Chain A
Amino acid sequence: MESFLNRYKNITVLLLVIFAQLLLLAVQVKNEQDVRFIRVWAVTAVSPFARLVEGVRGAGFSFVRNYITLHDADAENRRLKADNAQLKLDKVFLENQLNTADRAKALELFQQQTKSKTIAATVISMGLGSSRKSVYLDRGSVAGVMREMAVLTPDGIVGKVTDVYPTASEVLLITDPTFAAGVVTGKGHVHGTLKGTGTPLCKVDFVAFEDKVEPGDLFYTSGDDRIFPRGLPVGVVKSVHPAQPYKEITLDPSGMSHGGLEDVLIVVEGVHQEIPDTPPPNQQVYLGPPLPPAAPVPGALTNPDGTPIPDPAHPTPGTEADRVHTLYQKSAEGSGVVLGGGPTGLTWTPKPPDFTKLPVDPRSANPGRGTPAAAPPPRKSTAPAPETKGTGSQELKPDAVRHANQAAGPGGGHNLP
């Protein structure tokens, strides 16, 4: 080493002196960016080594982290799996929320379209008892709910209110064996009685053997029961078996077919509507506009309030009760008795009418149809008769009408719609 320094002593001293003076210059001189050369040179000289050291350090740490110590990967995998499970739960929850929102929207739309006044309710529990098919709603007498009110969904009827509590009410479902309601087909206007069977399916009784009902036909409420307004969808005929004297018809209730029953509507003021001849597309419920009041026929019989009485010679559509009422009214004309004219529904005169000599109903004069009282009801009702109250409104206030009918007794002063 000593010989090396002696051999290159001159050049070594030269380089040292030059280097020292270069440092001296670098301390004084600045570059174009006003940075001293000593700083520029120092950074330039150090940065490659720093970059090299940092690269080696980063590569070493990365190698150790990614290939040597893998415990972080396992923990992260478990955490990601937990996050994934939580996200799945959140997805299911949000989908349920979306379905609930869809149902609420459908109910709101149905409420806007239908003429009947309804209030929305939510099913809060199922009824107790193994055989009884009922549910409890979160609306009671405080909300204006009364017994025998109809309960439905946009898809169809659900049941009727059987018990009312202040904040809840019990609804007898249409699948209960004790349930019954008047129904009519949309295509042929064949009347029948809907009954529950205790199963998800219902049956329709009292459909004559000769009436034409086929699987796939739609049944609607007929309004005869004074509970369900006419024109509400009931269900689709699932099977029809010929039997004597009535067909055995199995019905799939449409109001309870879309999953669980959660949100329903309670009809507080029903309005009868048209029964569509053809099934609506996609089984959706179409509620037409309310019926216009029937124009009075010149010379036709009228009730005391001015509403026309159907003429047997020119039969108008109506229920059998309407026709019976008309026959009795005709028979009582000679005695001056006005049926339904008094506050109790009957006004008696000194000479009571002889109801044993009823006029002959031209529609019941057909051979093989029996007496007028035994005449079968018309199977088709092309247009409903107007209400005899003369209000021109098709609305029915179920409780008020029922109370009035009960007070008036048989043949009371209201024509059935």
Chain B
Amino acid sequence: MTYSGGRMLLSSQREGQVSRFRVWVTILVPLLAILFQIYVPLFFPVLNFLEMPLLVVVYLALMRRNPVSGLLMGAAVGLAQDSWSKNPLGMFGITKTLVGYFAASVGMKLDVDNVLMRFILAYFFYVFHQAFYWVMERALLSHMSPFDITGWLGLGVLNALVGVGLFHFLDKLRVTA
């Protein structure tokens, strides 16, 4: 099975191959990502910028190319992340639901095996995730947090770089035909 060719756009949906994962992978990987997001920054604050659950949701949605499964995966990961945080339930849930839906929708049109495409998508969805969460905070929680677009753009690059490596690692967990 070959990955990433010279094209980024698929001529038809048939060209895109739906990746399959074992059940324990779809459960354990997001769970580990959430645990990483919760505990690792406690010991390594410098890694606080990483949004591992978001990267996992983007990867699984892109690879499975199913919007429903993508939004459900995003909702489940987001609600689990909310339950371990101080946020009201639904803040990360709604945001990651939209990310999973859009990622799955985009994955049907793009060659998600391309490294550059993965970098761009990881970067875009990180910025989208941060911006939408900022909107949710202002609208629902009345938290006047700053609109740090430059910080989001900069951290988006770092997350995209980490995401490309993570995606390469997660590719090894796919079920081969």
Contact = CB atoms under 8 A, between A and B. Distances in A.
Instruction: Identify the interface centre among B72, B79, B90, B94: most chain A CB within 10 Å of its CB.
Output: B90
A21 B71 contact: no
Interface string A313-341: 00000000000000000000000000000
Contacts of B177: none
Chain A: interface secondary structure? helix
Nearest to A19: B94
B58 interface: no
Contacts of B105: 10
B101 A10 contact: yes
B1 interface: no
A25 B90 CA distance: 6
B67 A10 contact: yes
Contacts, number: 51
Nearest to A13: B68
Interface residues of B, number: 20
A21 B95 CA distance: 10
B142 interface: yes
Nearest to B97: A17
A28 interface: yes
Interface string A11-25: 001100110011011
Contacts of A25: 88-91, 94, 140
A18 B71 CA distance: 9
Instruction: Identify the interface centre among A13, A21, A24: most chain B CB within 10 Å of its CB.
Output: A21
Interface string B128-141: 00000000000011
A32 B143 CA distance: 11
B68 A18 contact: no
B79 A21 contact: yes
B110 interface: no
A241 to B, nearest CB: 110
Given A29-B88, A29-B140, A37-B140, A22 B94 contact: yes
B107 interface: no
Contacts of A37: 140
A179 to B, nearest CB: 104
B119 to A, nearest CB: 26
Given A21-B79, A29-B141, A10 B90 contact: no
B53 interface: no
A374 to B, nearest CB: 127
B105 to A, nearest CB: 8
B52 interface: no
A13 B94 CA distance: 13
B93 interface: yes
A9 B68 contact: yes
Interface string A27-47: 011011000010000000000
A64 B152 CA distance: 65
Contact of B94 (A9, A21, A29): A21
Interface in B82-112: 88-91, 93-94, 97-98, 101, 105
16 contacts: A10-B67, A14-B71, A14-B98, A17-B71, A18-B98, A21-B75, A21-B79, A21-B89, A21-B93, A21-B94, A22-B94, A24-B88, A24-B93, A25-B91, A28-B90, A37-B140
Interface of A: 9-10, 13-14, 17-18, 21-22, 24-25, 28-29, 31-32, 37
Given A17-B75, A18-B98, A28-B90, 8 more contacts: A10-B71, A10-B101, A13-B67, A14-B98, A21-B90, A22-B94, A29-B88, A37-B140
